[in-house]
Amino acid sequence: MAKADGLRLLVVGVSWPLETFLERLLKGLAQSGILVTLATRRRPPDKWLQESNIRWLHAPSWEQPLIPRMWQLAAQAGWAVLRGPQDLRTLRRNVRSGSMRERLATWNRLLPFAGRSWDAIYFPWNSAAIEHLPLFDLGVPAVVSCRGSQIYVAPHNPERESIRHGLRETFARATAVHCVSEAILLEALHYGLDPARSRVIYPAVDPDFFIPAGTERPGDQDYCIVTTGSLAWVKGYEYACAAVGQLRDQGVPIRFEIIGSGPEHQRLLYTIHDLGLEGCVRLAGQLSADAVRQRLQNADAFLLSSVSEGLSNAALEAMACGLPVVATDCGGMREAITNGVEGLIVPVRDAPALAEALERLWRDPVLRRRVGAMGRQKVLQYFSLSNQTAQFVELFTTL
**pLDDT tens string 47-81:** 888 888 999 999 988 887 878 888 888 888 887 88
Indicate if 377 and 242 belong to the same structural domain: yes
Indicate if 139 and 178 belong to the same structural domain: yes
| CATH code assigned at 256 | 3.40.50.2000
Indicate if 327 and 391 belong to the same structural domain: no
pLDDT higher than 70, residue 325: yes
Q: For 359-372, what is the HEC assignment?
A: HHHHHCHHHHHHHH
Indicate if 252 and 125 belong to the same structural domain: no
The total of structural domains in the chain comes to: 2
Indicate if 190 and 247 belong to the same structural domain: no
Indicate if 275 and 131 belong to the same structural domain: no
What average pLDDT does the chain have? Answer: 92
For β-strands 301-304 and 223-228, DSSP reports them as parallel
Share of the chain above pLDDT 70, in %: 98
Better-scored residue on pLDDT, 244 or 89: 244
Question: What SS3 class is residue 290?
Answer: helix
Indicate if 355 and 393 belong to the same structural domain: no
Please give the order of strands across the beta sheet that includes 281-285. 281-285, 254-259, 223-228, 301-304, 325-328, 343-346
Q: Are 80 and 111 in contact (CB under 8 A)?
A: yes
> What value does the mean pLDDT take over residues 97-119?
86
Indicate if 168 and 227 belong to the same structural domain: no
* Lowest model confidence (mean pLDDT) among 84-93, 136-145, 303-312, 317-326: 84-93
Split at pLDDT 50, 70, 90, the class of 354 is very high
Residue pLDDT, tens place only, 1-52: 455 778 999 999 998 888 888 999 999 999 999 999 999 999 999 888 888 8
Indicate if 324 and 306 belong to the same structural domain: yes
* Domain containing residue 250: 223-382
Instruction: Give domain status of residue 89, yes or no.
Output: no
Indicate if 196 and 260 belong to the same structural domain: no
Split at pLDDT 50, 70, 90, the class of 93 is confident
Better-scored residue on pLDDT, 53 or 220: 53
Indicate if 378 and 390 belong to the same structural domain: no
Indicate if 137 and 273 belong to the same structural domain: no
pLDDT higher than 60, residue 361: yes
